[in-house]
Structure 1
Amino acid sequence: MLAACGDPVPDGYLPAHAIRGEAMGSYYRVTYLGKTVPGLQNSVDSLLEAYNLELSPWVEESTISAFNRSDIGVSLAGTAHFVPNLRLAATIVDRTRGAYDPTVAPLVKFWGFGGAEHRRTNEVDTVALDSARVRVGFNLISFDAGFLRKAKPGVELDLNASAKGYGVDLISALLDSLGRPDHLVDIGGEMRAGGTKNGQPWTVGIRLPDEDAGKVSAAGTLPLQNGRAIATSGNYLNFYEVDGEKYSHTINPKTGLVERNDLLSASVLADDCATADAFATACMVLGAAGARELIEGQRELEGYFLVRGENGELEVVVTSGLAGE
């Protein structure tokens, strides 16, 4: 999760304006330079509402909720955002070799997340776990412009791992279309920087991983500009505990198990925020070494990782493109 680090704007520079609101179970904050845009708040809210009506599993009447309830699939007629998200998901499933997989929803619910009840015991029902695992796999869905199909009942989709990032990209594109190319869009810590901040990069801070949600401090900062985006995933806030054992929301699609490894948080930089968001989730599944190898192998990506060292100390690991930042 990230927070913008703002500085006063000197006289003569373009003025900055900000709007704030709620989105995707979190907040959004949009900062832009230039003259004020009348009605921008309503435009942003309408854009995000339309997205939620297609892809939010928390909205009962959304297209994705209808798909998850169905036995065979749903029509995609009239949708604008579903197919782009599915195509992105297919690409990243392939590039991460399944570490990212949006069909992981049955396993997410098995472990007490995604709206399901938290576990009350540390004993694992292996029969129930296996039943959830056979309903996970991106090969179990197929789609075209008109219809999204599932290979068997019980297959579900959860695109939340890229939802905030995609929303960020939508708002950034809206600002570009309104003639406000210099902006910073933030939804729940996922960010994209359009243009510059009066000729200088926007600066964002990497949040220190702390299980106390009220504690916010930065482990470091990074420059962001010209459409570059950053997204962060971590296990330190979304977790619960049963008899001294912690269960976090990162689930390994391949093993079916909760993943708590040496990687405390992964921040990924990309040319769009949806891609950064999904790759950050994959990194948490892979652990520090696997995450760095994955991101180093993607030319357009960079990674900033907070790692638990051998003695429990916090270590910062970055990919080669960030070594001089």
Structure 2
Amino acid sequence: MKKLSLIPVLLLFTLLLGTCDRAPESVIDAVRELPTQTLTGEAMGTYYRILYLGEEVPGLVPQIDSLLDAFNQELSAWVPGSTLNQFNESERGVDLSGQVHFLPNLALARSISAHTEGAYDPTVAPLVKYWGFGGGERRTSASIDSAEVARLTRLVGVDKLTVQDGFLSKPHPDIELDLNASAKGYGVDLLAELLEANGRDHYLIDVGGEFRAGGDKNGRPWRVAIRAPEEDVEIISQAGTLPLADGQGIATSGNYLNYYRVEGEIFSHTINPRTGYVERNALLSASVLAPDCATADAYATACMVLGPEAALELINDTPELEAYFLVGGEDGVLKTVVSTGLEGID
């Protein structure tokens, strides 16, 4: 599986923060400049980078580690024995008694799956593995077993799952969950809650390219870069930047980050739950802004499945969402398409 190069991402992130638009001097003079604290580490199979304003919070790193460990024990597909893996390996389901994070993610998945008419569905996991992602083995041949794809597609449907007396049941042992499309954003939201609980309301959290902002950056909005959807590049370039409002999250999905080639065919990690096949359309990158990062994360995945026209219609019809799309044209020219609320944003 193609891995994201973390150093260029962090460099782009750092350079962007150093070149934020400046507020008028009168505004800056009226605001007491607070010191910026920076924390970095590993989380959810990627990196985290946290900036917060104010004096350093003693003991914050152990709190972060404890929070992320509890998160991983429930939702990580990479931690042996996690609740998620227990469910996927079970014949009937798993007991969720005492679980804090699993049910909120499942409830969010149900809601967004219904709203996107199945373009996002976390039970797509067996198909994700079939195509060589999410822990599955990469294909060695471009030939496809259409009967097997059809069989796995019949397993898809988060509405097939039931929760009764704290037990999450599945009607077929081969049904599995992949909550990664919202769980990373959910982790970002947990870190935001932790910072606010420690009295730090001005922050920017980045976990593997998913962001959430709190407050502002000494009178200026926090801004994040939108990466250009370029495959096989050593130096990352940006297509644009966006300001984040207080509490707003942004997540980006794109096939350019996770793909491989076999016999001239490209296999990307975006799998259409409704067809069972790899989805590659003109939408190369979908960045979604939402009131929290988990919601942004899941909708970004749904947008990649839907394609540019249907995705833009979905976003414009959902008042709490905005989107920044990078769309490929037949002439090879990259086009920027934004939702109504972002028109004119500089």
Post-superposition CA distance 1:257-286 (Å, at most 9, x none)? 000100000000000000000000000001
Query: In proportion to residue count, which structure has more helix?
Result: 2
What are the equivalent positions in structure 2 for 1:9-48 lying under 5 Å apart? 12-48=32-68
Partner in structure 2 of residue 266 of structure 1: 286
The equivalent of 1:6 in structure 2 is 17
2:310 matches 1:300 = no
The aligned residue for residue 262 of structure 2 is: 242
The match for 1:118 is: 138
Query: C-alpha separation between the residues in 2 aligned to 1:119 and 1:168?
Result: 32
Residues 110, 159 of structure 2: 8 Å contact kept: no
Q: Secondary structure at the match of 1:108?
A: helix
Residue in 2 that maps onto 1:52: 72
The 1-side partners of 2:165 and 2:99 are apart by: 9
Report the equivalent of 1:179: 199
Alignment counterpart, residue 79 of structure 1, candidates 94, 99, 106: 99
- Within a 5 Å distance, the mapping from 1:138-157 to structure 2 comes to 138-144=158-164, 146-157=166-177
Matches of 2:325 and 2:122, distance apart in 1 = 23
Distance 1:14 1:200 in 2: 12
Q: Helix, strand or coil: the match of 1:3?
A: helix
- How far apart are residue 173 of structure 1 and its match? 0.5
Q: Distance in 1 between matches of 2:184 and 2:275?
A: 26
**Counterpart of 2:247?**
227
Deviates more, 1:167-176 or 1:8-17: 8-17
Using the aligned pairs only, state the percent identity: 58
Correspondence for 1:322: 342
Q: Give 1:7 shift.
A: 2.8
In the TM superposition, what whole-angstrom CA distance separates every residue of 1:54-103 from its partner, at most 9, and x where no partner exists? 01111111001000001110000111001111111111001111000000
2:299 is equivalent to residue 288 of structure 1: no
Which amino acid is 2:68 matched to?
L
3-state SS of paired residue (1:57): coil
- The answer as to whether partners of 1:140 and 1:152 remain within 8 angstroms in 2 is no
TM-score normalised by structure 2 residue count: 0.91
Task: Give the Cα–Cα distance (whole angstroms) in 2 for the partners of residues 60 and 183 of structure 1.
Answer: 32
What is the aligned partner in structure 2 of residue 93 from structure 1?
113
Q: Tell me, what secondary structure is at the counterpart of 2:320? A: coil
Query: Could you tell me how far 1:145 is from its partner in structure 2?
Result: 6.2
So what's the TM-score if we normalise by structure 1? 0.97
- Distance between the aligned counterparts of 2:173 and 2:221, measured in 1? 49
Q: Distance in 1 between matches of 2:77 and 2:153?
A: 20
Query: Contact (CA 8 Å) 1:213, 1:237: kept in 2 or not?
Result: no
> How far apart, in 2, do the equivalents of 1:317 and 1:145 lie?
46
Whether 2:329 is the aligned partner of 1:309: answer yes
The one-letter amino acid of 2:299's match is F
Q: What is the CA distance between 1:131 and its match in structure 2? A: 2.0
Distance 2:163 2:228 in 1: 40
The 10-residue stretch of structure 1 (210-219 or 64-73) with the greater mean CA deviation from structure 2 = 210-219
Q: In the alignment, does 2:152 pair up with 1:132?
A: yes
User: Whole-Å Cα distance in 1 between the matches of residues 53 and 284 of structure 2?
Assistant: 34
For structure 2, which runs of at least 5 residues remain unmatched after alignment? 1-8, 23-27
Structure 1 residue identity aligned to 2:236: V
Paired residues of 1:3 and 1:207 also in contact (CA < 8 A): no
Aligned partner letter, 2:120: Y
Distance in 2 of aligned mates of 1:135 and 1:71:
14
Aligned residues: 325
Per-residue deviation, 1:116: 1.2
User: Aligned match of 2:221 in 201, 214, 238?
Assistant: 201
Q: Could you tell me how far 1:180 is from its partner in structure 2?
A: 0.2
Q: Deviations over 1:9-28 (max 9, x none)?
A: 98950000010001111100
SS state at 1:6 partner: helix
166-175 or 118-127, which moves further after superposition? 118-127
Q: Give the CA RMSD over aligned residues.
A: 1.6
In structure 1, what is the Cα distance between the partners aligned to 2:18 and 2:261?
40
Shift of 1:225: 2.5
Using the TM superposition, give the Cα deviation of residue 144 of structure 1 relative to its aligned residue in structure 2, in angstroms.
4.7
Counterparts of 2:112 and 2:289, CA distance in 1: 15
Question: For 1:172-193, what per-residue CA distance to the aligned partner results, in whole angstroms no more than 9, with x for missing partners?
Answer: 0111110000000110000000
Tell me the SS of whatever aligns to 2:307: helix
Letter matched to residue 221 of structure 1: T
